[in-house]
Amino acid sequence: MKLPSWLYADHLVKGLSGREAFLKNEDLKPVERERRLWGPWNFVAFWLADSINIGTWMIISNMVVGGLSWWEAWLCVWIGYIIVAIFICLSGRIGATYHISFPVVSRSSFGLFGSFWPVLNRGFMACVCLRGWAWMSGIMSCISNFVTLIVNNPDFTRFATRPSTAFWPQLLTIPLGFSVTSFVGVIVGSSSNVIFGQAIWNPLDLLGKFLDILTNDGTHFEPEFKAVFEASKATLVATTAMYLPYKIQ
């Protein structure tokens, strides 16, 4: 029985067997020249959008709790994300050069069916958080956030106009964007310890604390409530924007 055409998400596989579709579909083809539109600022915007989020804000908190001072923890963030940026650029080089995606790259090393292993391993590593002693734990907590993205970075860099447009923006933007966001997080978290007597690392909990104070003291100042609302809205937008770029895969 022939299936209706609207059921096919990829019309290239229409009429092909499952085995044939495994070898040929839209996601496995090299990106056509007219679709290679990503310049340097696209990669800068891509990683900045990914760096500004609650997770990056709070990443220093584990290091401070583990015994590091704020500047040691921030130094760990810089070291960790510089290492991440280097491996991101190296991993994405093949995608920027040949404009192929991660599944194609993995097949070149593991074969057609052996490539299931790195794909499954990529998903498994997304659930793993590497731990260690204070300094290594701080650095690895940054790197572990990027382990899966390092592996499949060709999925993003294949849209680059040329290899250099993917290399330098990623190498510079990743350490800078994530380190600045983490620095803001540690400053706000430390300030909350002075104001409330306890360090509040989660920005959502901090906003809730402000609301509790405004509600309990009976003042209900409109500007303060508006400020909390705008901060909450910015947090929502930043968190949503962090996930939107992955839809290109």
Q: What is the DSSP string of the chain?
A: -PPPGGG-SSGGGTT--HHHHHH--TTTSPPPGGG--B-HHHHHHHHHHHHSSHHHHHHHHHHHHTT--HHHHHHHHHHHHHHHHHHHHHHHHHHHHH---HHHHHHHHH-TTTTHHHHHHHHHHTT-----SHHHHHHHHHHHTTHHHHHTTHHHHTTBSSHHHHHHHHHHHHHHHHHHHHHHHHHHHHHHHHHHSS----HHHHHHHHHHHHHHTT---HHHHHHHHHHHHHHHHHHHHHHGGGGG-
pLDDT in the model for residue 9 = 47
In the predicted model, what is the mean pLDDT of the chain? 76
Contact, 211 vs 110, CB < 8 A? Answer: no
Largest distance between two CA atoms of the chain: 70
In tens, the pLDDT along 172-214 reads: 998 998 888 888 888 888 888 787 777 777 777 777 777 776 6
Grade residue 43 by pLDDT with cuts at 50, 70 and 90. very high
pLDDT in the model for residue 41 = 92
- Between 33 and 23, where is the model more confident? 33
Q: What percent of the chain has pLDDT over 90?
A: 10
The region of weakest confidence among 9-18, 156-165, 208-217 is 9-18
Indicate whether this model's pTM tops 0.85: no
Residues 130, 132, 137, CA angle at the centre, nearest 5°?
75
- pLDDT for 229 beyond 90: no
- pLDDT for 131 beyond 60: no
Q: Is 182 exposed, middle or buried (0-12, 13-18, 19+ CB in 10 A)?
A: buried
